Structures are given as structure tokens and as C-alpha cells.
Structure 1
Amino acid sequence: MGVGPVVDGQATADLTGVSGGAHAYTAMYVPDPESVVASSTSAEVELGVGAVTSLYVGATPVNAPYGRTRTVGVKVTGGAPVDGVAQVHLGGIRWNVTLVDGVGRITIPAGLAVGTHTALAVFAGDATHGASSSTIDLVVRPAGTRIDEALPGTITAGRAVTSSFYVTAPGSQVPARGAIRIYHGGRHLTTAEVKNGRATVRLPALARGTYDLRAEFDGGTTFARSTLGFRTVAR
């Protein structure tokens, strides 16, 4: 299965065509024809050979909005079915993935920041399987948002009014946060903080009339901007 020259009493040979598993080997020394040293055979030695494996890593979804959990799946193939543990490394965190017939999956929490993150999946190998690894890029984009307001259509002229505005992020499992600003044309009327998807807005006193107002939500890098136009009448 392999032949190697003897140099200074030692020889190295590459073994080819070996399947995964445990195999028994013997080494035979064959001297040169002119040598005065006799041939000899070693005792039998058992060696474990790991089958070559391939690792596939996938995710559902690969591209997702901020605040969305996702499933990362690992599949190891090669040789006999693998029952063991692989690992997924992402952002300094390590998850153990239990493999049954070479397949396992984990859930990545919703806290990944906006951007592209490379996950590394590793199978360290065992007595009958070699090691393998693979990577996948997970994309996190800002979560889309929508504004809903609870301001009554008619308010009392000359009096400040307090109302709730709600910001939802339909594709995210994390409540929206940021700031909401109210405008009348180009005039800024007020600003309120959005926490857990809700803002308490105090609208300043308005004179009698009909006002076409605009709410603008700013969620920084994690939540996409959104606007809402609405009309209120001060009487």
C-alpha cells in the first residue's frame, strides 16, 4: 500500500486507497541485494483512519431584517453517518450543534447588529471521520417600520394635547426604538422618544384651523425611517 526508502534507519511511506475506519498494518524491510542485513517484518499495528468529510452550512433566512431569529443548519457527509457534535462560531459566541445522521441545527438569537456576519461551522472529526469546516455570510438589514397614531381628528384650539404614537416593525421580533418628530410643513412642532414601539407625544397648543401634520420616525441604523401624514382640526 505504500513504499518508502530507509534513511538513517527510518522510512516514511504514504498510504493510498485507505477507507475510513480501523486498519491493521505491518511493515516489511527489504534490504538491497548487496546488503548483509536480513529482511524483517514488524509486528502488526492498528491505525484509525478518518473518512474524508464535507460540511455544508445553511441558514433560514440568510438575509433578514434586524431583530429576526434564524435557523442555522449543519450537515456533515462522508463515510458512515455522523452522530456527534459540530460547532458554530459567530461574533465571539460558540454554539454546539448535535448531529444525528450527520444533520443538526441551532437557532441564532435576534440580536445581530445590522451588517454582514460570517458564521464558521466546524466538525472536529472522530475516530472514523476526518475534520471539515465551512462558512456562511448572514446579512442583517434595517427592519422596516410603520407609524400609527392615536391623535384625535379634532382637538381643542389653544390647548396642548398629549397622544400616543406607535411604531411597529412587522419583520422584526424586537420592538422599535428611536425618536419620532412631528412637523407642520417645514416647522418642527415636537419630538418624543420611542420605547418598546410607543411614544407619548405632547403637541403644542394650536390656533383654530385645519392642520396637515407629518410624523417622522428615526430608528438609527437598526430600524428604517418611516413617515405618516395625518390631519387634525383645532376648534
Structure 2
Amino acid sequence: MFVRKSLACLVAAALTGSVVALTAVPALAATDADDPMFTPVAADLIGVGSDTSQHALTLLADGWNAQTPAPAFKVASFAATSGGTITLPGGAINRPNGSGAGKALLYGSGNNADVDFARSSSAVSATEAQAGLQAFPFALDTLVMAVSNSVPSNAPTSLTPAQIVSIYKGDITNWSQIDSSKSGVIAPKIPQAGSGTRSFFVAQLKAMNGGVDVTLASSVAEVQEHDDTLIKNDPNAIAPFSKGRAGLLGTTLRLEDGWKADRALYNVVRQADLARADIQSVFGENGYVCSTAARSAIEAAGFQQLATSAHGGVCGAPTQSATSNFTLNQQVTTTTALSGTSTKGGAATLVAAVSGSSAPDGTVTFREGDVVLQSGVPLVSGQATYDLTGATPGSHSYRAEFVPASGSQFDPSTGAADVLVKAASSLSESFPASVQAGKRAQGTITVASAVAPTGKVTIFKGTKKLVSGSLVGSKLTVKLPALAKGKNTLRAVYAGSSTVAGSTKKFTITQK
């Protein structure tokens, strides 16, 4: 078993969102733009391997490492390109270049306990599977044939599978054999030995050749995979190229029509490490790499994120076979924002606003802590409203959870808010029931509440404001203006405060 990390506390903290203090590490001047900008430590998840997905893993590692609260371990993915050495916790090693070189550090005599995963643009081989390697598919790439675009290529715009096979067998050596209007000795290229793209392309050549292995012609030259240096300025060059990686190079290459082959991209781990909580939290079905939050990083690297099994896909499902299920993650990210107001004593209105790139379909569950206040509240014009009653006065922390409709393409989301629930109030008055002619009524309005009331009380007759004043010790004593002769129906209104709900009291005074 090649597990080298103590995970009992480390990963439990990562999965629950707790922050574990890490020893400060010095910054590392990256040799390659896709190298980590820090020196990884033994607690980190460290990867090497394929040139194809190195930029994708750099972006994914950046996303993982930038989470708030900070995860208990970092992801460090070293580029395949730029040569030289890379610094691991156990010391410097020669930089592994390609899927095969990366996977070779996970088993056998080449096993390096500092390396946790290998990026791979091809499935695990029979030898690697026998050694117990397992691959987590996460993205879709398409392999195409690329020719020069910095200078006009002599290649036709489209090549058939048979023509590609003939070029790599050496049966077609000049572009004029395909298009008589063109001429030039074809310069076929193939990625370096150990490249996942090379092994995938060789398998494709065999398939295009009726299941018979293709012996490469002597004219086929090895190049660094996905390096356009020896292609972009040569009008006769041709090479298999990742469509995603070609897109990152701008317009230096022209991609041929007529043949293409979809393939999955993988992150490969040891069988003994498969169930490790840190690996599952990053690469598993419910891990970061397969989450909708990570989709933009994968797309920015030129690829498409695979869907998880919950949505008919295979993202994060470990395998030892080549993935042929290319169902993509079409989930819609949602955001839930919760707000709350309290205008009545012991009551609050909670409003959850759920948004996405299209109108979300589902319901909302309202909670206080672990207590479900109400579930299944439908969305109406993107909002779910719950009128809460019976709450104790004071501050409460509420949570709204969006639950997508079954079978929908929406992701769940959560919003939270602190709401100050007001205390109820009631009024009493001590005005006389009748007042002698020529006299003015005097009395006291008292506001009763579980929380000390503050603010103003106003007395109305109909809509006419008679008098208003601020409470002093929950009371307001006033003398009313002269009232009309006869029975007067009055209304005392306490406007309430930030902590106490308003209330009203009707009373009558007869003016003689």
C-alpha cells in the first residue's frame, strides 16, 4: 500500500469545511506557467503527467486552493513541459513528461510516494491496470489532425481516415497524391514516447486500418505533444493534436476536417489510494473536479466537463477501461439569496430568491439550524416565501435550501440570513371616558412588551393626527386638543421600533 499521508484529521476537516492550520511554505518560482506557485508539502495532493490536461489541472488546483474557508490541503499539479526538475516533499526529480511518465510514478520500481495522481489523456493500459491503477474520468477532449496556419499549409482542408493511415504508413508521401493542385513532401509528426495522446492516436490508426497495427514510416518524426513549434511554420507538417489544446494556441494551427476522435481525460491514482478522502473530495463523483463550480475552469482549458452518474455520466467514477460515455455536464448553477423581515411580534417573512442562467425549477426548504421550518415551498417568479410565526424575539439565523425538481438540470444552492424577530406589543390607555364642557382630556398611553419599547405614539381621530410624542419608560402622557361635542372615537398607534412590533388601541371619549 502506497498511502503516505495521515488523513484521520486532515481530510475530515477538509470535508466539513473546517480550517486546519498549515505550516507556512515558501513561494516557488514556477519553471512552467502551469507549475504550482508554491512548494508542496507532504499533506498536499500532488500530480504530474499529461501535457494535454496540465493547464486544466492548474486551473482546477487554483479553484480548489482558493476556496473559503481554506481547504486543509492544497492541490499541486506540475506541468509536463519545460524540462528540468520539479521539487517534491522528498526532493527534486526529473520532470515527468506525458501520461505514461506520470503513471509510472504510481507503481512498480518507479513508484514515488510523493506523487498522488497522474494526469492522463488515455485510459490505463493492461500493465497499468494489472498494477492496480484506477482512472477518474473528468473531461471530454477531441483529437484532430493539425497543420500549419502561420504559413499556408499544402494539406487539403479535409482528410479521410484512409488517407491519414496511408500518410503514417508512408504510402502517401506528397500532398499531390491527395490533391493534384498541391505539392510538398509530407512531414508527419507524432507525440513523444510515453505520451497519452500518442498511445490514443496509435490505437485510432489501428482502428482506421481495419484493426491491424500500423507500422510508422521512417518519415514520422517525434515531437513534444501539443507543441506547435515544428508545425506552425512548416506547410507540409501534420500531427495529431488535442482540439482543446490547439484552441489555447490561438491561430497558429489549422485543424483538419474529415476525422476526429473523442476521448476522455483522466486523473489516475493507485488502487490502494482510491478510497482516500482527500482524493475523493477532489476527483470523486461528489468531489470538486466533477462539481458544476469547476466547469468553467475545465472549459477555460479548452475541454468539456463530463456529467456524473446522477446525470447519466461517468465523471468521478473510477475505471480501468477507456471511457466511451461522453455525456456532458449540462447542469445549471443556481444562487439562493435569503432575506427576512419582521413587522409583527414573534413573526417574520422569509423570502428566498433563486436565480440561474435559466429560470430554476424546484422548491425551497427553510431551516433554523437543523430544524426544518417548512419544506416544499414552491418558487413563484423565482421566489419562495415563508411566513414564520411563534418565534422568540431576538436574532435568528435562518437558511434556505433550493431543492431542484427531480430530473431537472439545476444544481442545488443555499442562502442564509440573520433576521431580528421583533417582540409583540400591546397598548393600554388611561383617558377619562368623558370630559366636561370646556375641558381637555389628559391621559397616558402605556406600551407593554417583553422587550423595552422605544419610539413614538400618535393619537388619531379618523385620519386626523391629534397629538404625537416619544415614549418615556414605555409611557406617553399627553393632553388632547379640544374634541368635538359628543362621542369621539380615537386611535392610539405605536409605530414600533427595530426590536418591538407596532400596535394599535381604539378608545372613545365623550366631550360634553
Q: Tell me which amino acid in the other structure corresponds to 2:490.
A: A
Considering Cα pairs closer than 8 Å and 6+ residues apart, tell me whether 1 or 2 has the greater RCO: 1
The answer for the alignment partner of 1:70 in structure 2 is 441
Q: Give the superposed CA RMSD.
A: 2.4
* Contact 1:89/1:95, CA 8 A, preserved across alignment: yes
> Residue by residue, what CA displacement relative to the aligned partner does 1:176-209 show, whole Å, maximum 9, x if unpaired?
xxxxxxxxxxxxxxxxxxxxxxxxxxxxxxxxxx
Shift of 1:36: 4.2
- CA change 1:8–1:135 in 2 (3 A) is closer
* Structure-2 separation of matches of 1:118 and 1:26: 45
> Residue by residue, what CA displacement relative to the aligned partner does 1:43-78 show, whole Å, maximum 9, x if unpaired?
x3233332222122330x221210123212111223
* Contact 2:458/2:465, CA 8 A, preserved across alignment: no
Which one of the candidate residues 411, 431, 442 is aligned to 1:38? 411
Question: Does 2:402 match 1:29?
Answer: yes
> Residue by residue, what CA displacement relative to the aligned partner does 1:140-164 show, whole Å, maximum 9, x if unpaired?
22xxxxxxxxxxxxxxxxxxxxxxx
Which structure's residues are more often strand, by fraction? 1
- CA change 1:62–1:39 in 2 (3 A) is same
Matches within 5 A, 1:81-96: 81-90=452-461, 92-96=464-468
* Contact 1:51/1:128, CA 8 A, preserved across alignment: yes
Matches within 5 A, 1:1-235: 1-3=373-375, 4-7=377-380, 9-42=382-415, 44-59=416-431, 61-90=432-461, 92-109=464-481, 111-141=482-512
* Structure-2 separation of matches of 1:40 and 1:7: 17
* Contact 1:51/1:78, CA 8 A, preserved across alignment: yes
* Structure-2 separation of matches of 1:119 and 1:8: 42
Q: Tell me which amino acid in the other structure corresponds to 2:504.
A: S
- TM-score (structure 2 length as normaliser): 0.25
* Contact 2:454/2:474, CA 8 A, preserved across alignment: yes
| Structure 1, gaps ≥5 residues long | 142-235
* Contact 2:394/2:499, CA 8 A, preserved across alignment: yes
Q: Tell me which amino acid in the other structure corresponds to 1:11.
A: A
- CA change 1:9–1:85 in 2 (3 A) is closer
| Structure 2, gaps ≥5 residues long | 1-372
- TM-score (structure 1 length as normaliser): 0.51
* Structure-2 separation of matches of 1:88 and 1:8: 40
* Contact 1:89/1:119, CA 8 A, preserved across alignment: yes
Q: Pick the structure with greater CA Rg.
A: 2
Shift of 1:33: 4.6
Q: Tell me which amino acid in the other structure corresponds to 1:21.
A: G
Shift of 1:8: 5.1
* Structure-2 separation of matches of 1:78 and 1:128: 10
- CA change 1:68–1:40 in 2 (3 A) is same
* Contact 2:453/2:497, CA 8 A, preserved across alignment: no
